[in-house]
Amino acid sequence: MSINGNCKDYSELLDAYLDDELSADEQSRVELHVQSCRDCKNTLEETAALLQNLKSMPKKKSARQLDFGFLDNSVSPACNLESSSIDAYFDNELSDSERLAVQKHLDTCPDCTARLADINSLVFELKALPKLSLKADLIEKLDFTRQAETVSTEAANYKKGSQRHRTVWFGIGGAAAAAVAMFFMVQKGPQETPLVENFSVGKEIVKASKPANSERAEQSVGTDLPVGETAKDKVPAALLAEDNQKEKRIESAAVITSEKKNKNTIAESEVGTELALMPDSDDTAAEALGIGTDEDGLYDIKI
């Protein structure tokens, strides 16, 4: 912003001009200058807009009456500064003209000055909070040699047996394999109620969670499978249970069959641990009514 000698004189007058404190002669001189000087014109417009904003803001705490114009110096102006201005001023996030306006306001407003002091103390306390650090170097355990999906240490242990199945897909792949396992197990074993009609991961595991079948489901998990899957290496119940936390978050990276991700997650967290009844997950009835589930696995009922 280039300020020639003239502008320097005028910039002081601009404020007074807006405050209606100039003589008629001075006023017209300012107006004349502003017509030809873009910098001063901009400054004037910005300040005018800001003052207009200040004027139109609803009053906050102060009970004093607003008297725009700051002409009467015997009464301190009401504090109608936009509420976040003091914070932004403290944070040095205001434009030059805004900052000047707030500075000017602070000169006459004890409430805002007190607020500024409060902000100062509060931020000081926040900054004084100890900076916490990790006890161990978590990054050391991570393995970034793979190009695409990366792996975590625990997941790295599951790599054996399958190169194709990335470890981040472990849980879902494992669950899918478990479902396959159960499906085949049921077919081979004594004729009990078949778990599912259509092969679908979430539903299968959910149905397997009924108490009568729970034991069988648990047993079939982790045993040898007739299918060529390498699920055996991946499915040990204990590991699945341990890895619950990871799976739930890596769910987004998984390949899902027809089921939504969340049901999968909830389901696989149950496999291998106590298979609690989850009445809400049995959504065949819901689907029959045309009610689907939303992304959180909750019934998506449109009102």
Partner 1 sequence: MQEANLCDDEFLLDKFRAGKDPQVFKTLLRRFQDRIYNAAFRILGNAEEAEEVVQETCIKIHQSIDKFNRNSSFAAWVFRIAHNSCLDMIRIRQRKKSMRIVPFDPQADEESAPESNVVSQAPDPSPGPAEELDKQERERIIAEKLCLLPESQRTVLVLHDIEGFSYIEVAEIVGEKMGTVRSRIHYGRQKLKELLEPYFFSQTVSQGSR
Quote the least distance from Cβ 95 to partner 1, whole Å. Answer: 12
Cα–Cα dist 17/10, whole Å: 10
- If binding is defined by CB under 8 A, does position 122 make contact with partner 1? yes
Beta bridge partners of residue 132, listed in sequence order = none
124 token code pair: 């000081």
State whether the Cα torsion 183-188-193-197 is positive or negative.
positive
Q: Binding residue for partner 1 (CB under 8 A) from 1, 24, 63, 139? A: 139
- If binding is defined by CB under 8 A, does position 274 make contact with partner 1? no
Cα–Cα dist 262/98, whole Å: 49
- If binding is defined by CB under 8 A, does position 144 make contact with partner 1? yes
Q: Binding residue for partner 1 (CB under 8 A) from 148, 212, 285, 288? A: 148
Q: What is the CA radius of gyration of the chain?
A: 35
- CB of 110 or CB of 292, closer to partner 1: 110
Beta bridge partners of residue 143, listed in sequence order = 151
Cα–Cα dist 208/201, whole Å: 11
148 token code pair: 């695409």
Quote the least distance from Cβ 165 to partner 1, whole Å. Answer: 17
Taking CB under 8 A as the binding criterion, the range among 18-26, 32-40, 137-145, 176-184 that sits at the site for partner 1 is 137-145
Region 179-218 residues binding partner 1, contact defined as CB under 8 A: none
Taking CB under 8 A as the binding criterion, the range among 20-28, 29-37, 84-92, 179-187 that sits at the site for partner 1 is 84-92
Q: Binding residue for partner 1 (CB under 8 A) from 1, 63, 126, 288? A: 126
- If binding is defined by CB under 8 A, does position 118 make contact with partner 1? yes
CB 289 within 8 A of CB 299: no
**Interface with partner 1: number of residues (CB under 8 A):** 47
Taking CB under 8 A as the binding criterion, the range among 22-30, 85-93, 157-165, 218-226 that sits at the site for partner 1 is 85-93
Q: Binding residue for partner 1 (CB under 8 A) from 11, 53, 62, 113? A: 113
Cα–Cα dist 171/190, whole Å: 29
Tokens 């539903």 sit at which residue? 203
- If binding is defined by CB under 8 A, does position 227 make contact with partner 1? no
- If binding is defined by CB under 8 A, does position 63 make contact with partner 1? no
Contacts of 110 (CB under 8 A, 6+ apart): 76
Q: Binding residue for partner 1 (CB under 8 A) from 25, 72, 140, 274? A: 140
- If binding is defined by CB under 8 A, does position 248 make contact with partner 1? yes
Taking CB under 8 A as the binding criterion, the range among 23-31, 76-84, 179-187, 224-232 that sits at the site for partner 1 is 76-84
DSSP 199-250: --HHHHHHHHTSHHHHHHHHHHTTS--SSS--HHHH--HHHHHHTHHHHHHH
Considering only CA atoms, which of 92, 16, 84, 22 is closest in space to residue 54?
Answer: 84
Taking CB under 8 A as the binding criterion, the range among 125-133, 203-211, 217-225, 282-290 that sits at the site for partner 1 is 125-133
CB 79 within 8 A of CB 109: yes
Binding site for partner 1 (CB under 8 A): 76, 83-84, 87-88, 91, 93, 110, 113-114, 117-119, 121-123, 125-134, 137-140, 142-145, 147-150, 152, 168, 245, 248-249, 262, 266, 296-297
